[in-house]
Amino acid sequence: MRKFNIKDLILDGITYLFSSVSLILLVIIFIFIFQKGFSSLNLELFTSPYWSENYYASIPASNNTYLLKSTLDSNEYYSEKFGIALKDDFNARNEAIVVISYVHPDSPFNELTNSTSGANEGQIITAQEGMIVNKISYINSNGVTRSAGPVIKQMAEDTINTIEKSDQLDSVFLQTQGGGIFGSLIATIMLILISLLISLPIGIMTAIYLNEYAKYNRFTPWIRSSIELLTGVPSIVFGLMGVLVLFPITSVFGASGTSILLGGLTLSIILLPVIIRTTEESLKVVPDSFREASHSLGANHSQTIFKIIIPAALPGILTATILSIGRIIGESAALIYTMGTYISDKPELLKGATSLAVQIWSIMNGDQPNFGLASAISIIILVMVLVMNIGVKVLTRSKVKKW
Amino acid sequence: MKDINNDSRKPNVFKTYQDLFFKSLFFVSALISSLMIIIIIIFIAQKGISPFLSSYEYGQQNIISFLTGMVWRQDQAIYGVAFIIINTLISGFASLLIAFPISVLTALFVVKIAPKPIGYFIESAIEILASIPSVVYGVFAVGFIVPLIQTLANIFKVQTAGGSSLLAVILLLSIMILPTITSISITAIKAVDIDLEKASYALGASKTQTNFKIVLNSAKSGIFAGAILGLGRAFGEATAVSMVAGNKMFGPTFNLFDITRTMTSTMLAGLKETTGLDYDIRFSVGLVLMGVILISNLLINFVKNNIGKNHA
C-alpha cells in the first residue's frame, strides 16, 4: 500500500512541477522583453519615421545675444550668441552623437533655409529638439568658412565653444533621429482594414450557410473539413499562396510587386477559419425558438437571418473581429512574402511596407540589429495582444446570456 | 379590403426570390472558403514542381538530386533538400518530446487537480502564451535563449556559432507549441466522462491513479490531436526559427550546439534580393513542407491507434 503512495507522490510532484513551467515562461518572457525594450519606448517612437532625414540648411545672420531664461541640465551646453543648446547622446546603435536639446524662441535656428538640392530647396526649416547635429559651418575672423561639430570629432561642449568664438554661422547639417514606427503603424492599420473588409463578410456568410442552411446537407462535412484544414496550414505557405494566387488580382489594380493590398488579401484568407468558427459558435447558441417565432410572424428565411439571428450573434462576430485583429498584428511569415521587408515611412496601398511584426523581423535581420527598438515594438505588440485577450474574455462572459 | 386579403394568400414572390438570392450568396461564400485549401495545394504544387520540368525557363533541375541532396548553396545553385527535411524532423520531434509531457500534465493539473482559481489563472497564462506572436518569441529567443546556450557551450567547452544552434531552435519551438498542445489537451480532459472516474474510485484507485490511468487514457484521442497540431506548428514556424537557426549549408545537423537549417528558415533566407530559380525553388521547399506535415500527421494518427490497441 505504501509503495503506491510513493508512486502517487512522485507523479503528483512531477505534475505540479510541469504545471508551473508555462507560468514561469510567461513571466520570464514579459520581464525580459520589458526590461530590454522599455528604455527605447517613448511617445516619439509612434510619431517619428524609421529612416532619418538629412537637412543641409543655411543659417540666417544674427547679431543679437539670446539670454537663457530657463535653466539647463549640466550636460547641456548653450550658445548665447546663437540661442541653441547642444548635448551629447547615443543613438540606437550606441554611437556617440550630438543632439539639439534646446532652441531659443528667437534663435536664427528657427528659420533655417533648406539648401539640399531637390523639391524642398529653399523651404524654411525649424531646428527641433532631438535633431542630430553633424556639422555646423562658421565663418571665422579671417572670413574663411570652417566646420565645427561631430564631423571634426567635436562633441557638444567643444562645438558650442567653437561657434561662440565666431560671429557668423554659415550652414548646418542636421539629421532627424529616425528609428520610429509611424510607417509600420499606418501599414498595420491599413492591413487590418483591408483584411477585415474582405474576410468578415465572407467568413460570416460562410458561417451562416453552415449553421442556417446546410445542417443536413451531405456536402456540409466536406466543406467543414476543408475549412478546418486551413487552420493547419503554416503561415509561410499562405505567403507562397498569396504570391501565386492573389498577386494577379493586385496587379489588376496596378501593383507591380509586394504590396499592402497583397498582404491584406493574403491575411483575409488566413483569418477565414477563425472568423467562421467563432461566428458559427455564436450562431449555434441562438435558440431555435427565435427562428420559429420570426417565421411564424411571416418573416422569410433571409429576413430572419438579418433581423433576428445576426443581431443575436453580434457578440460572437465582435469576438471574431478582435481575434482577427490579434492575428493580423502578430502575423509575420506570410507578410514577408507578400509585403516585403522594406520599412516604409509613407506606406501606400500598392507598394511594399512592413507591419509592426515584420518591422521587428526586418530590424533583427538587418546589418546592424537594433535589439532595443525590436524589444520596444515587441512591448507594443504584447500590450495590444493582452488588451485584446482581456477584451475577448469580457465579451465571451457577457455573451453567455440566458435566452 | 378584398384585394389585400387576396394578396396575402398568394405566395410572396419577392420574398421567395430574396431567400433564393441570399441562400446562393451564402453558399458561394462557403464554397470560396472551402475551395481555398484546394487552390493553395494546386497552385503551390504546380509552381513547386515547375523547376523540375523540361520547360523550366532557368534550366531544368534534377528532382532526384533535389530530394536526396545534402548540400544547399544558393551561391552555387546547388539545391538539396534531404538534410533540411531531416533537420526539420529532428527539431520538430525533439520539441514535441519536451513540450508534450509538460503540456499534458499542465492540462491535467488545470482540469483535475488545481483549485479553481489557480486552474483559471494557469489557463489564462496559457492563453496569453498562445497569443504571443511568433516574431516576439523570436526576439526573446535571440536575446535570452541564444546567450543562454552560449553560456552552456562555454561551460561544456563546445564550439557554437554565438549560440544560434539546433538546441536554440528546439527550445524555442517547445515554448511555442506548449500552449497549443496544452489548450487542446485541456478541452480533451474536460470532456472525459465523470462516470469513468467514479468507477475508478469505486474500485479503490487513488486520485492520482485515476488521473493517470483513466482520465489521460480516455482523453488520449484529443491529446494526440493537440500533439499533431503542435507538431504542425513546429514544422511550419518560420520567422522565429529563422532568427536562431543559423542556416547551415550542409547537414544533417545532429550536434545540439551546431547551427541548423530548417525548411522554413530556408524559405526565408535571403528572400530580399532573390529572383529566378532561387526564388522558385522556395515553392518546391514549401511543397515538401506540406508533404512532411501531412505524412507526420498520418504517422501520429497511426501511433495513436496502436496505443489504443495496447490498452484495450
Chain B contact present for A309, CB below 8 A? no
Q: Report pLDDT for B6.
A: 52
**B107 & B20 share domain:** no
Model confidence pLDDT, tens digit, residues A373-397: 899 999 999 999 999 988 888 887 7
Q: Which residue of B has its CA nearest to A199?
A: B33
Model confidence pLDDT, tens digit, residues B44-80: 999 999 999 988 888 888 889 899 989 998 888 889 9
What CATH number is given to the structural domain containing B148? 1.10.3720.10
Tell me the chain B residues in contact with residue A332 when contact means C-beta distances shorter than 8 Å: 133-135, 238-239
**B160 & B180 share domain:** yes
Nearest to A227 by CA among A213, A209, A212, A246: A209
**Given the DSSP bridges, would you call strands A145-148 and B72-73 parallel, antiparallel or unpaired?**
unpaired
Of B97 and B246, the one with more pLDDT: B97
B303 domain residue, yes or no: yes
The shortest CB-CB distance from B125 to any of A23, A276, A371 is to A23
Tell me the chain A residues in contact with residue B136 when contact means C-beta distances shorter than 8 Å: 29, 33, 330, 357, 360, 378, 381-382
**B72 & B150 share domain:** yes
Q: Report pLDDT for A215.
A: 67
Q: What share of chain A is helix, strand, coil (3-state, %, to 5)?
A: 60, 10, 30
- Does A26 sit within 8 Å of B264, measured CB to CB? no
Average pLDDT over residues A314-326: 92
The shortest CB-CB distance from B286 to any of A205, A240, A364 is to A240
> Amino acid identity, residue A54?
N
Alpha carbon distance B189, B112 (integer Å) = 8
The shortest CB-CB distance from A209 to any of B26, B108, B297 is to B26
Q: Which domain holds residue B103?
A: 64-311
B58 domain residue, yes or no: no
Model confidence pLDDT, tens digit, residues A254-294: 888 889 999 999 999 999 999 999 999 999 888 999 999 99
Tell me the chain B residues in contact with residue A268 when contact means C-beta distances shorter than 8 Å: none
DSSP characters over A288-319: HHHHHHHHHTT--HHHHIIIIIHHHTHHHHHH
**B124 & B259 share domain:** yes
A216: pLDDT strictly greater than 80: no
**B100 & B142 share domain:** yes
How close A8 gets to chain B, by Cα (Å)? Answer: 6
Share of chain B above pLDDT 90, in %: 54
- Does A205 sit within 8 Å of B30, measured CB to CB? yes
Model confidence pLDDT, tens digit, residues B163-201: 889 999 999 999 999 999 999 999 999 999 899 999 999
Q: Report pLDDT for B312.
A: 40
Count: domains in chain B:
2
**B29 & B140 share domain:** no
**B79 & B34 share domain:** no
Tell me the chain B residues in contact with residue A279 when contact means C-beta distances shorter than 8 Å: none
Q: Report pLDDT for B1.
A: 46
Tell me the chain A residues in contact with residue B15 when contact means C-beta distances shorter than 8 Å: 300, 303
**B105 & B26 share domain:** no
**B40 & B134 share domain:** no
B287 domain residue, yes or no: yes
Indicate the average pLDDT of chain B: 88
Q: Which residue of A has its CA nearest to B238?
A: A333
Partners of residue B161 on adjacent β-strands: B164
Q: Which residue of B has its CA nearest to A36?
A: B143
Partners of residue A175 on adjacent β-strands: A54, A132
Among B30, B52, B74, the domain-final residue is B52
Share of chain A above pLDDT 90, in %: 36
Q: What interhelical angle do A314-330 and A356-365 show, nearest 10? A: 10
Q: Which residue of A has its CA nearest to B210?
A: A8
The shortest CB-CB distance from B26 to any of A205, A303, A331 is to A205
Tell me the chain A residues in contact with residue B244 when contact means C-beta distances shorter than 8 Å: none
How close A233 gets to chain B, by Cα (Å)? Answer: 8
**B134 & B177 share domain:** yes
The shortest CB-CB distance from A302 to any of B19, B127, B267 is to B19
B80 domain residue, yes or no: yes
B8: pLDDT strictly greater than 60: no
Tell me the chain B residues in contact with residue A388 when contact means C-beta distances shorter than 8 Å: 131
Structure confidence at residue A1 as a pLDDT band (50, 70, 90) = very low
The shortest CB-CB distance from B272 to any of A326, A341, A378 is to A341
The shortest CB-CB distance from A18 to any of B33, B106, B131 is to B106
Alpha carbon distance A302, B18 (integer Å) = 7
Tell me the chain A residues in contact with residue B109 when contact means C-beta distances shorter than 8 Å: 15-16, 18-19
Average pLDDT over residues A354-373: 87
Tell me the chain A residues in contact with residue B206 when contact means C-beta distances shorter than 8 Å: 4-5, 8
Indicate the average pLDDT of chain A: 87
User: Which long-range contacts does B43-47 make (Cβ < 8 Å, 24+ apart)?
Assistant: B43/A241, B43/A244, B43/A245, B44/A237, B44/A240, B44/A241, B44/A244, B44/B283, B44/B286, B44/B287, B44/B290, B45/B287, B47/A240, B47/A244, B47/B280, B47/B283
B59 domain residue, yes or no: no
Contact B106, B126 (CB under 8 A): yes
Q: Report pLDDT for A28.
A: 95
Share of chain A above pLDDT 70, in %: 96
Of A117 and B138, the one with more pLDDT: B138
- Does A301 sit within 8 Å of B19, measured CB to CB? yes
First to last CA, chain A: 52
- Does A375 sit within 8 Å of B139, measured CB to CB? yes
A402: pLDDT strictly greater than 70: no
B57 domain residue, yes or no: no
**B94 & B16 share domain:** no
**B29 & B150 share domain:** no
B21 domain residue, yes or no: yes
Model confidence pLDDT, tens digit, residues A65-104: 888 777 778 888 888 888 888 888 877 666 788 888 888 8
